[in-house]
Amino acid sequence: MMAAVSDDGLRSEIAHLLTSGFVTDVFPRADSHERVQQLVSDLRLAGDDLKSKLRIAGFTSYPIMQHDICQLCETCMYYKVHRRFCELPELNLPVEPDWSCRLWRI
Ligand code: SF4
């Protein structure tokens, strides 16, 4: 049986993708209930496919400014500080504090 990929290993893999030209759907941001529901539904369909999850959620390896608010994992309600982890169930991925995605919520 293969060992599970560690948070650090998966975080490195994501960082590599995000900094080597992998394109994600950064906009439009999820700024309405309907859009959040649509994205969550799309993420559920993506299942465990990492690239699909990153693309649908619009991951970036840097914060995104939106309506004068800096959106980054560190200030998101789904961010677990000590584990550097996104606890949104449909993402459930290791992240860095200065990354962002369009499901950001405060
Ligand atoms: S939902 Fe929040 S913590 Fe998770 S990746 Fe998006 S911005 Fe980061």
Q: What atom of ligand 1 comes closest to residue 101's alpha carbon?
A: 6
How do the domains of the chain map onto residue ranges?
A: 7-17+24-94
pLDDT tens-digit readout, 19-58: 999 999 999 999 999 999 999 999 999 999 999 999 999 9
String of DSSP letters for 15-41: HHHHTTT------S---SHHHHHHHHH
pLDDT value of residue 2: 53
Q: How sure is the predictor about 5, in pLDDT bands with cuts at 50, 70 and 90?
A: confident
Tell me the best of 88, 98, 105 to mutate to test the pocket of ligand 1, counting ligand atoms within 8 Å of each CB and taking the most. 88
Among 18, 45, 21, smallest CA distance to 101 is for 18
**The model's pTM:** 0.94
Rounded CA-CA distance 42/24 in Å is: 14
Structure-token pair, residue 50:
């990492």
Structure-token pair, residue 65:
């400014």
